Copies of this chain bind each other. A is one copy, B any other.
Amino acid sequence: MTEVGTTGSAAQRLDRDDPLAHTRDRFELPSGLIYLEGNSLGALPCGVKERVADVVTREWGHDLYASWNTAGWSDLPERVAAKIAPLVGADADEVIVADSTSVNLFNLLAAAVRARPDRRVVVVEPTTFPTDGYIAASVARTFDRELRWCDPEDPLAAVDADTAVVCLTHVDFRTGRKYDETAITAGVHAAGALMLWDLCHTTGAVPFDLHAIDADLAVGCSYKYLNGGSGAPAYSFVARRLHAQLDHPVTGWWGHAEPFAMQRDFTPRTGIGRLRVGTAPLLSLVALDTALDAFEGVDLALLRAKSLSLTGRFIDLVQAHTDLEVVTPLDPQRRGSQVSLRHPQAFGLVRALSARGVVGDFRTPDIARFGFAPLYVRHVDVDAAVEQLVAVLDGAEFARPEYAVRQSVT
């Protein structure tokens, strides 16, 4: 593809001048692969395999139970949370690492409706990542509230004086559309409701300043742009001013003020730690702990600039060389760190690209999705990905029979 190929030297220049070029060396990337799926499963950071091996062999195998003290297992969720906090503009003691995003959502949404007992409505966005809608519906039903689906383009229109809490995903998993967190949070607060931000597709690629917007509640996952490994535990943020009144339903023993006092009645920890539930999955937690070191010294403004440079270049090249619909907002202010393209045979398109060494993913019914993890994706990867995309389209490879069969997960 000469049209795309000629841009190669420009991409190389951009990479040479990239102030975050060095962070790519913090990952163990398979050679020859253009991995544009860090928005789903982040790449393996350097040091993780050594750390996990040490935890298995020495901390678990040799030191056994003593490691609760000697290796600091007890407060590891707090220490890992302290590494996430600066990535979301929070203080360390406002973030806790625990369980899955779904469990954190359940606890925080339930606490939110309890904190607004005189308000009946839970507002959620119908095209959000489904677990958010499922959990919001369940919380509404469990606590006898009304679930109200908002207009994705105008969530505030659904918020009124009867709204207890609004739950929105900051960056949409399907389209990559980014909400204006400042305006929406202010609008929700003006209505007297609480705002819960789902930052799963934000943290680690798009800066989010929870303090700056006076945020109430947030959740996020750790295996996308945070690179913690599949199913690594999620995190919750609760603004300090809400800690004392936080009344969550999944009250596990690790959230007790004195877990080893083994008391009959639940007395929560004074701070965010009350959201700990059961014993954290150690191996996944230590992988995340080491993975977060890849962000050491990274300026979040540079991270965002790099992300927009990558997604902007991808969009420009796609528009210049294909007639695919770009679903993701062209306005960089409204864009996360992924680009979604629409194609009637998007599934075959993704598989044909994968056979050519470009990994994106498919989201039903017709979306091909490409994530640009700014710590390890380069501008030359963008060019090469579009080059392969053009080849797949030119050869109609998306229509090949071998790419039509759905695998269990793709």
Give me the interface of A with B, judged by CB distance under 8 Å.
Answer: 28, 30, 33, 35, 37, 40-41, 43-44, 48-49, 52-53, 56-57, 60-69, 73-75, 99-103, 106, 110, 126-127, 129-131, 133-135, 137-139, 142-143, 149, 174, 221, 223, 229-234, 249-253, 256, 259-266, 277-285, 287, 354, 359, 361, 363-364, 407-410
Inter-subunit contact A69/B138 (CB<8 Å): no
Q: A408 contacts which chain B residues (CB < 8 A)?
A: 68-69, 74-75
Q: A126 contacts which chain B residues (CB < 8 A)?
A: 264
Inter-subunit contact A174/B262 (CB<8 Å): yes
Q: A68 contacts which chain B residues (CB < 8 A)?
A: 408-410
CA distance A202 to B386 in the complex (A): 56
Q: What's the nearest-Cβ distance from chain B to residue A93, in Å?
A: 17
Q: A232 contacts which chain B residues (CB < 8 A)?
A: 281
CA distance A69 to B231 in the complex (A): 15
CA distance A46 to B408 in the complex (A): 31
Inter-subunit contact B262/A229 (CB<8 Å): no
Inter-subunit contact B230/A282 (CB<8 Å): yes
| Pairs A–B under 8 Å by Cβ, sample size 10 | A30-B62, A41-B60, A60-B230, A67-B230, A74-B409, A130-B263, A134-B251, A231-B282, A231-B285, A260-B364
Q: A60 contacts which chain B residues (CB < 8 A)?
A: 41, 44, 229-230
A37-B64 contact, Cβ under 8 Å, with A100-B252, A253-B129, A409-B74 = yes
Q: A363 contacts which chain B residues (CB < 8 A)?
A: 262
A56-B229 contact, Cβ under 8 Å, with A262-B130, A262-B174, A283-B287 = yes
CA distance A252 to B363 in the complex (A): 18
CA distance A28 to B364 in the complex (A): 46
Partner pick for A103 among B35, B64, B69, B250, CB 8 A cutoff: B250
Q: A285 contacts which chain B residues (CB < 8 A)?
A: 231, 281
Partner pick for A49 among B61, B143, B410, CB 8 A cutoff: B61
Q: A354 contacts which chain B residues (CB < 8 A)?
A: 66
Q: A110 contacts which chain B residues (CB < 8 A)?
A: 142
CA distance A60 to B49 in the complex (A): 10
**Apart from A103-B277, A149-B264, 10 more pairs, CB < 8 Å:** A35-B64, A60-B229, A69-B408, A74-B408, A106-B249, A133-B264, A133-B266, A139-B249, A230-B280, A250-B250
